[in-house]
Structure 1
Amino acid sequence: MEFQDYRHLGFTTLQNGLIAYYPKLNISDPGFITLIQLEAFSQKGGDFPTNEKIAANTNMTANQVASVIQQLINQDLIIIDQTQDGQGKIGNKYNLAPLYRKLDKVLEKEIVPQATTSSQYIGSSTYLENNPLNSLTRKFEIEFGRYLSPIEREEIAAWLNVDHYSDKIIELALREAVLSQVYNLKYVDRILLNWQRRNLKTVEEIQTYLQRNK
């Protein structure tokens, strides 16, 4: 197939602010994937896709999709509206308006003018490209072969913001855990603490230490 053939499948328009800031709305990665699917179905006219249809486009089961959707409802991010067609037939549709109202509030706080005389903004595009938490989360999920839980994301955020480990040092610790075939954050944390106790503060110092102890 060529690109022209893929175009017939259509495209889904997704707000870049949602891509960049969904963690600030406490949306899990499975929740984000589910929201993408709901948007894709909605933009193609499918306002109430079944859990089975959503699951078919993801790595989740229908039961997992149902659980994620219930979580999104509990978080007041989506609601189910009742509809009625021209023949009076009652149906349902997913309504994502609450999600975007909450996103608006986040964007009001996060996106600020770069300068009072400039129309350019420091916003979602910069955050999406440079946010170390998002980047690290993706790398952990690739190596672990699964989605991280919100608690695990918080632990990575604490390494960055509380312990002040650099993202490159965290990546090194992840690599050491993978080489040891241990795929959990507790092991990565022990590696980081070991380096801290040895007063290894830079990537170069850690690499020298690792070479010396091979």
Structure 2
Amino acid sequence: MHYNDYRILGFTTFSNGLLAYYPQLKISDAELILIIQLEMFSQKNEPFPSNEQLAANTNFSTAEVASLIQQLIEQKYLTIAQVTDDNGRIGNVYELNQLYTKVDEFLTQQLGTLKQGEHTEQTIAAVDNSQLNQLMRQFEIEFGRYLSPIEREEVAAWLNVDHYDPEIIKLALREAVLAQAYSLKYVDRILLNWQRHNLKTSSEVQKFLQRNR
């Protein structure tokens, strides 16, 4: 059989924001797998799959599924709600609304308050956890503003052209913030100074800073 033969099984739509940031939300790998399964069943109009169904789709036992569900409920990421169908029958459904509210809140913290129409580029960057984007977000958080395209190119050059260790760049940013100098030029001068002293690792930089405090 070919891939197209399996397309009849359908696809599950899932939040890239959650995939990018679930560790920061204190969600374990196992819990994420269960959340994906719950989404799949929900999107197939099966909002309350049994523990046996969930276990059959994973490497978890039914006992492990029950434990993971309880963990998600305790973290307030998952709720069990009662619903009444068109025939008046009462049933249960799993709801992940609280989880996605937490994701929204987290992304809002990462993005800040954006004007309408400004979301696209920043949102894409927010769910990109590459080393470069992590650095850029840290600069934006410390500077309290978005980096300009030229500033983004400069941060990228520190990584890709100068080959500075990302941890050293973070230490240089910290030194700039301590000096209340919120500019990339200041950070660049710090990096050049450390380069002149042949400091290549974060531990060497920290020892250098301790000696010169």
- Indicate the TM-score class for this superposition, using the shorter chain for normalisation: 0.5 to 0.7
After superposition, give the CA deviation of every residue in 1:5-45 in whole Å (9 maximum; x if it has no partner). Answer: 11111000001111111112111111111000000000000
Contact kept, 8 Å, 2:83 with 2:93, in 1: the verdict is: yes
User: What's 2:16 paired with?
Assistant: 16
In 1: Cα distance, 2:66 partner to 2:9 partner: 26
In 2: Cα distance, 1:123 partner to 1:131 partner: 16
- Quote how far apart the aligned CAs of 1:122 are: 3.5
Contact kept, 8 Å, 1:55 with 1:62, in 2: the verdict is: yes
Contact kept, 8 Å, 1:111 with 1:124, in 2: the verdict is: no
Contact kept, 8 Å, 1:80 with 1:94, in 2: the verdict is: yes
- Structure 1 pair 15–125 and aligned structure 2 pair: CA distance change class (3 A): farther
Please give the secondary structure, in 2, of the residue aligned with 1:92: strand
In 2: Cα distance, 1:73 partner to 1:119 partner: 31
Contact kept, 8 Å, 1:81 with 1:95, in 2: the verdict is: yes
Greater Rg over alpha carbons, structure: 2
User: What's 1:49 paired with?
Assistant: 49
Equivalent residues in 2 for 1:12-161, closer than 5 Å: 12-112=12-112, 120-123=120-123, 127-130=127-130
Gaps of 5+ in 1: 133-163, 166-199, 203-214
Gaps of 5+ in 2: 133-166, 169-199, 203-213
- Structure 1 pair 111–119 and aligned structure 2 pair: CA distance change class (3 A): closer
In 2: Cα distance, 1:125 partner to 1:100 partner: 19
- Structure 1 pair 201–100 and aligned structure 2 pair: CA distance change class (3 A): same
In 2: Cα distance, 1:40 partner to 1:14 partner: 9
In 2: Cα distance, 1:201 partner to 1:89 partner: 65
Aligned residues: 140
- Quote how far apart the aligned CAs of 1:123 are: 3.9
User: What's 2:4 paired with?
Assistant: 4
After superposition, give the CA deviation of every residue in 1:32-74 in whole Å (9 maximum; x if it has no partner). Answer: 1100000000000000001111111111111101100100000
Let me know the Cα RMSD of the aligned residues.
3.1
In 2: Cα distance, 1:60 partner to 1:121 partner: 38
TM-score by length of 2: 0.57
Please give the secondary structure, in 2, of the residue aligned with 1:82: strand
- Quote how far apart the aligned CAs of 1:87 are: 2.3
Contact kept, 8 Å, 2:48 with 2:93, in 1: the verdict is: yes
- Structure 1 pair 27–131 and aligned structure 2 pair: CA distance change class (3 A): farther
More RCO (CA 8 Å, sep 6+): 1
The percentage of aligned residue pairs carrying the same residue is 45
Structure 1 residue ranges, 4+ long, deviating more than 2 angstroms after superposition? 111-114, 117-129
- Quote how far apart the aligned CAs of 1:118 are: 6.0
User: What's 1:148 paired with?
Assistant: none
In 2: Cα distance, 1:96 partner to 1:131 partner: 30
Please give the secondary structure, in 2, of the residue aligned with 1:42: helix
